Structure formats: C-alpha cells, structure tokens
Structure 1
Amino acid sequence: MYKDKDPRAAIFAAASTPPRTGLIAEEQLAEFDKTPPQEDAEGRKIWYQRGCNFVLAYAEAQPGAAFARTAQPDEYVLLLPDSPAVIEANGETVTVAANSIAFVPPGNSRVTLPQGGRFVRLFTSASSDLVALCPNAGAYAAGRSHIPHFAAWPEPVGGFKIRTYSLDVAPQEGRFGRIFRCTTFMVNFLDVQKGPRDPKKLSPHHHDDFEQCSLALGGSFTHHLRWPWTVDRGDWREDRHIAVGSPSSLVIPPPVIHTTEASGPETNALVDIFCPPRLDFSLQDGWVLNEADYPMPESS
C-alpha cells in the first residue's frame, strides 16, 4: 500500500478490517474558491463547513477586521498561513506572526488581522451557533454511530492560555508532516508538494472510526475515494475522483479508502485536520511537535 518509506506504513499495516455494514456516509465538499461566503460584512468574508465533530471557518479579512467569540465553550484553533494576527483572550494579548498556528482558550476572545489577509479557525460542534451557519448543517442529522462521541483531551500543562507555534519547521526523515495538537484538534501541515505528485507513489488507506478533513490552501488536488463493498449493497458507491482548487475542504468519512494527489504545476499546500486528536499519530515518537504542552489521555 505504501511506497518509498512512507512514515505511516507501520501504523496502517496494523489497522483493522473496515466495518462490515451500515457505516457508509457521503463526503462533505466545500469549495470556498467557487461559492459565496456565508458572512460578508464589516470587512470580513467567512465560509463555513462542518464535519461530524467540528466546524471549519475559512475567512478573508480587510486590514483591521476583528473576529470575536463570547463564552466560547472549548479551545479552538487558528491557522495563519500568510497573515499575522493579534489574539486577545481572558485578559491576555499575543501578537502572532504569519506562518503560525495558535490555540485559543475557552471563554471570551478576539482575533484581529492588522494587515488583513486569510486565516482559518477550527471549532468543535459544541459551538452550535457556528454549526447552524454551515451550508451542510444537516448532513449529520441521522448521526454517525461508528464515530465515537467527541471527548476533549486533557488540559494543557500550566492550564489554558494562548499558545502559538511557528510552522517554519524543516522536514525530517521518519516524521510525517508538521503535526500540532490541542485539547480538541490535531492539525498536520503536510510538507509542501512542488508540482504534481508522482502517480506511482500514492498512499491509499482508510480510517475505521474517525473523519479526516483535508484543507487545500494552495495549488490543486484530486481526492481519490473508494467505498468498500460491505454485505449491504446499499452501502456501495462508485469510485470518486474529486478535482479541487484552493481554498477548498473535503471531509472524508470512515471507512472510505482515500488518497490525495497534488496536481498543480507549482506549490500545492494541504492540511489534514482531525477532531479530536489522533492517538495513533500521537504515539509516534517525535511526530507531535508540541506534545510537551498537551498531554495524552491517561488511558493511552
């Protein structure tokens, strides 16, 4: 399944067989580059998309635009691929450079983009007001019995506060991407692909019981999806090959076999998002770059 020493090979070699039946769901696609935003006011354009446990908010801001949260129930994520920001939360103010990821504590907070630009926020579905803004808000009305109920990971060492990390991290042999986690999410900034991916070196795999959200921030991609044949023919689907530009986002349901192929001629930038964090990646030595700040559950 994996070629050229893919760091994930050992993980997925031990993965269980896909569930037998009754667990198939549709993918959730959002093409922010081709659709109007759900909010467009006060120098802010925001597009929303939901997964089973989370809401992704992609935003484009004019200089000085601010984004506030009041009584936020849990920790959320801020991705700043190319714009700096000022974060205020619970009496604390932090200036964050571009090419960073930040984790914002529960409670009241405010994010301002002094120079404008684009950024992404990630919330759990506990933010019901944001779930309601998603064009696919009803996609999970029937529930997903095979995806466990969301449970936050332990509080960070030293308690909740604004935490920021640079994405300027060089690739390392044996490490998969640039992975960060908090109490609610795991985010993996994959190494940038220059030009198209070699079609002879793809990495099809599946997940038994959690979704993967693949966020395209630069270039273009083709998401290849294959629904396994279960004993129930109602679960079967034709293979799908979904070509997207950027920005866009695809939520891939379990246990769909999937791999993503970069297709752009120049820089292709992809981010994988999981809610809650993945235990298997967390157990790999040195993969999670901020693991000293965010402990794993005791049961692990």
Structure 2
Amino acid sequence: MTYAKDDPRSALSQSSGGKPGGPVAAPEFLDFSVTLPDVTTGAGSRQWLVRGQNFVLIHTEPAPGDLIWSADLASEQVVLLIDENSALRGASGGETHAVTGPALVVIPPGSSEIVSTGSGPIVQLLQSDEDEWAKRASNADSYAEPHPHVAPLEPWPEPVGGYRWRTYRMADVPDQPGRFGRLFRTRAFMVNFFKPGHGPRDPHKLSPHFHDDFEQCSLVVAGTYIHHIQTPWGTDATTWRPEDHVRVGSPSVTIIPPPTVHTSQAIGSGANHLIDIFAGPRADFSAQLGWVLNADDYPAPRG
C-alpha cells in the first residue's frame, strides 16, 4: 500500500497481495448524473438501484413529502442522509422517527416506511440476500455469478441491546486528529461518512492501495472525481485489462473489485464529497482504537 506519512491508514498492516480465485472482475462506473433513473415515483422522486456482491444501494433524489420506501426486510438496513437538506420521517416497529441530515440511520429488520420530508439525497443500503431488491438492480447481470475474489458476507455480532432504530448525526462527531474519517459499522456494513472537501486533491498525495477480498463502493455525492484503478496481471494474458482513469460526476457509484490497485482523486473546483461503503465491516479499520464511532453499539467478533 502507498500512503502519505500523515495519512492515518499508513499505520495499517500490509495486505498479502490478493487471494487466488479466478479472473478479477471489472470495475463498474455507475454515474447517475448522466443516466436515467430506474424508478420515478408518482410524486416525482427519482431512484437508482445498483448492487455489489454483498449489498444493494438505492439512491433517491426525493420530492418532499413522498413515500420513498415501504417494505419488509429480514435484515437491518442503513440509510444515509447526505446533507442538511436530507430529512425523513420513518416508521418501524410501531414507532415513528424524524431525522434531518447529515446522518446515518440504522433501521431494524421487519416492516418499515420512509417518507422524505426534505429535498436532499437519501441513500439506502441493503444486504444482497434480500433477493427481491438484488434482482431489481440495474447491474444485476454483473453478479449473475458470484465474483470469486470477494468473500461472502458473514454478519458480525448482533447489536448491544438488540435491534432498534439508531441515529448517528454527523454534527455530533467531533474532529479528532489521527482518526480516519467518520466510520460507522453495523452487522453487515461499514460506512466512512467523510466530510466534504473543497477544491482538487493534491496530485502529489494520492493513496493507491488494494484489498485482498472485499469490494469498495465509492459513492460520490458532490463534485467531480477521477477513479484510478489498475487490475493486476496474472499468467493468462487474455484476462489483462488496461488501467482505468475514469471521470465521474455526482451522484455516482463506483464499485472497485479486489485485488485491484485504486485511488480516488477529487478534481472539482468547489465542494467534493465521497462516502466509502464496505459490506461487511472491515477488521483492519475496526482494530484501530477510536476509529469506529459506534463500536459500543455494534461489537466486533471475539477472538
């Protein structure tokens, strides 16, 4: 891995360089800023549905007051309220909750509803074993066969105190030198809800690295980025792939397969905002003291 000395990730242990398992999957660049929505509700909310190996992502550009979700799930879902214009009224387990963003919300398994009470983006994260939703993803064909380099999802321990509605507001997270972003985890997800940046990233301080056996989903919610991705060469030259240096707008989702070498470069002159999503939680980030902000609610596996 290549990190600048002042990057908190420089303290992480090195990966082994990937695990065997057949051809490396191609990255996916799903730029909602240039593609039509998969769903447009009667009230005018626009929704894009995409998936990775272990997750489904629903990005909604809502009409205020619209019911954007009503369904029953076997597992928790994570909801991201992206900015101060994102707001919802949610119902689950006979209780009603109101939240204004930016925030991360965990909704317990079972029946739930979400009404957007604002105009800002709302992002939902579901497990891909919620088959009905995985089949609706616009890129479902990419996962007709499991990607062999991606480890299957093994949910972490149940939350302390059992399943319930949980709200984590970004305004409640103080700055802390040496911590990497604003990390939250559940049984199935880890989300790094970075703060928005301003202006381009210094091209002399990029961070190319790789992951052995998990995908990275990079969700761009403001600005413009270039995702630099390099697929390692194996012994079979017919599977070699050129480097990707793909410019994406916002909103967009880029799915980065293991063990590709990758880094993301903000290039917009104004606000640039990226959120990283992993399914399931990362053990290396979880091992860093103080990095996971809700570790007391969602414990790591023992041993």
TM-score with structure 2 setting the length: 0.94
Name the stretch that deviates more: 80-89 or 211-220: 80-89
Give secondary structure in 2 for the equivalent of 1:139.
helix
Paired residue type of 2:56: V
Q: Does 1:131 align with 2:134?
A: yes
1:150 maps to amino acid:
L
What's the counterpart of residue 65 of structure 1?
A: 66
Q: Assess if the C-alpha contact under 8 Å between 2:226 and 2:264 holds in 1.
A: yes
Please give the alpha-carbon distance, in whole angstroms, between the structure 1 residues aligned to 2:134 and 2:103. Answer: 25
* Cross-structure match for 2:52: 51
Distance in 2 (alpha carbons) for counterparts of 1:288 and 1:231: 39
Partner of 2:199: 195
Runs (5+) with no aligned partner, structure 1:
none
Q: CA RMSD in A?
A: 1.4
Task: Tell me how far apart the structure 2 counterparts of residues 19 and 71 of structure 1 sit (CA, whole Å).
Answer: 36
Corresponding residue of 1:246: 250
User: Judging changes above 3 Å, is the alpha-carbon distance between structure 1 residues 105 and 164 closer, same or farther for their aligned structure 2 residues?
Assistant: same
Summarize the alignment of residues 1-300 of structure 1 with structure 2, pairs less than 5 Å apart: 1-11=2-12, 13-19=13-19, 22-43=22-43, 44-82=45-83, 83-168=86-171, 169-299=173-303
Counterpart of 1:221 in structure 2: which amino acid?
Answer: Y
Q: Is the 8 A contact 1:171 1:191 kept in 2?
A: no
Listed one character per residue, the Cα deviations across residues 41-90 of structure 1 (whole Å, up to 9, x for unaligned) are: 22221101110111110001112111334330100110001211111111
SS of 1:292's equivalent? coil
Letter in 1 for 2:195: D
Unpaired runs of 5+ residues, structure 2, are: none
Return the letter of the residue paired with 2:292: V
Cα contact 1:21–1:230 (8 A) shared by 2? no
CA distance in 2, matches of 1:117, 1:206: 32
Partners of 2:162 and 2:23 in 1: how far apart?
37
> CA offsets, 1:117-137, max 9 Å, x none?
321001111221211221110
Percent identity over the alignment is 43
Q: Which SS does the other structure have where 2:26 is aligned?
A: coil
Q: Which amino acid aligns with 1:34?
A: V
CA distance in 2, matches of 1:260, 1:171: 23
- Which residue identity does 1:165 align to in structure 2? Y
Per-residue deviation at 1:233? 1.8
Moved over 6 A (4+): none
Aligned partner letter, 2:11? A
- Residue-pair matches, total: 298
